[in-house]
Structure 1
Amino acid sequence: MSQCASKKRVLVIDDSEAIHTDFRRILNPEQRRARDDLDLLEEALFGPTPPRAPAAPDPEFEVDSAFQGQEGVTKVREALTSGRPYALVFLDYRMPPGWNGAETLRRMRVVAPALRVVLCSAYSDYSWEELLQEFSDLQLLKELRKPFNGQEVRQLALSLTGPQDTPPAPA
């Protein structure tokens, strides 16, 4: 399997370039980089660092971007058609001048009804209860409030794209 094919595909739909940058930084932390000045200073102050057992590699994500809801739904459709569907979408509530998050989600559910989505916003245009009435599957829909914590974003991505619990087979 190619390296790219083993990555979990994540789509970020948000009108802010800075948010896309944040998601890329959080979901694709740099692999251990070459020793830099800070590493050399640390070694000079505290002595050489003892060798550590290699840690299990973190799952890698392929992060794609859409800046409006219409573009996001198109990318979801194209990903399905190409056989490389997204595992997860982080979707902003507000994206002027186009569709808001709720309208984008409505249209995305037509294209990919089982796609996991995390709705992100600092605003309360819709109450969570209103959204759950329309989009009732809690397995597929989560909420993340801005400003978000990087650890929380990464944990959500890992848990929502990891192996999912399946009901036991009938006896």
Structure 2
Amino acid sequence: MSNCPSKKRILVIDDSEAIHTDFRRILNPEQRRSRGDIDMLEEALFGPMQSRGACSSEPDFEVDSAFQGQEGVAKIRASMQNNQPYALVFLDYRMPPGWNGAETLRRLREVAPSLRVVLCSAYSDYSWAELVREFSDLQLLKELRKPFNGQEVRQLALKLTRDDDDNSSHAPA
């Protein structure tokens, strides 16, 4: 059995394809790192890094995409039914023409009340104070302003999914 941290499942709910691409680049640094000749030679000689038992000190993230709130909530429901819940959701405030971020969050809380969510937007149709009043648990809800800093996104994902290890279930108490 491996001591490597398992992949943390993250769902990005945003209507912009470019945002999904950004999150994948930020949360999967191995995908963006170009492999040099030495890396390829090492793999040819010793096999892929994962099969040699080595692992990174940071968890890998499996990033999934939904382009509308309805699709995101359906994916969260399916992930729980398949016993592969998401550890974290990055959720856009504005996603025309469907549900906005607040409505998506209301529906998401019905399905997964303890799932951590980071609300992301350059605009807000709701003030943060209004959202906090309605969705009062600040341990489960964070805000991230666009344009975001890649390092900030990665650190937020690491912190929020690390905390998830302490509370390994998303089922209601």
Question: Secondary structure at 2:30's aligned position in 1?
Answer: coil
Question: Secondary structure at 1:162's aligned position in 2?
Answer: helix
TM-score (norm 2): 0.79
State the distance in 2 between where 1:77 and 1:91 align.
Answer: 16
Report the counterpart of residue 125 of structure 1 in structure 2: 125
Report the counterpart of residue 35 of structure 2 in structure 1: 34
Q: Percentage identity across aligned positions?
A: 79
1:106-155 per-residue CA deviation (whole Å, 9 max, x = no partner) reads 00000000000000000021100000000000000000000000000000
Measure how far apart 1:56 and its partner are. 4.6
Report the counterpart of residue 81 of structure 2 in structure 1: 81
State the distance in 2 between where 1:149 and 1:106 align.
Answer: 27
State the distance in 1 between where 2:7 and 2:149 align.
Answer: 22
Aligned residue pairs total 148
State the distance in 2 between where 1:124 and 1:94 align.
Answer: 8
Correspondence list, 1:10-21, <5 A: 10-21=10-21
Task: Output the amino acid matched with 2:95.
Answer: M
Report the counterpart of residue 25 of structure 1 in structure 2: 25
State the distance in 2 between where 1:124 and 1:74 align.
Answer: 24
Report the counterpart of residue 69 of structure 1 in structure 2: 69
Task: Output the amino acid matched with 2:27.
Answer: L
Measure how far apart 1:86 and its partner are. 0.1
Measure how far apart 1:55 and its partner are. 9.3
Measure how far apart 1:75 and its partner are. 0.2
Question: Secondary structure at 1:137's aligned position in 2?
Answer: coil
State the distance in 2 between where 1:55 and 1:97 align.
Answer: 42
Q: 1:55 and 1:77, CA in 2 relative to 1: closer, same or farther beyond 3 A?
A: closer
Is residue 160 of structure 1 aligned with residue 160 of structure 2? yes
Measure how far apart 1:30 and its partner are. 1.8
Question: Secondary structure at 1:153's aligned position in 2?
Answer: helix
State the distance in 2 between where 1:24 and 1:88 align.
Answer: 14
State the distance in 2 between where 1:88 and 1:18 align.
Answer: 19
1:45-74 per-residue CA deviation (whole Å, 9 max, x = no partner) reads xxxxxxxxx995321000000000000000
Say what the alpha-carbon RMSD is for the aligned residues: 2.3
TM-score (norm 1): 0.80
Measure how far apart 1:34 and its partner are. 2.7
Question: Secondary structure at 1:25's aligned position in 2?
Answer: helix
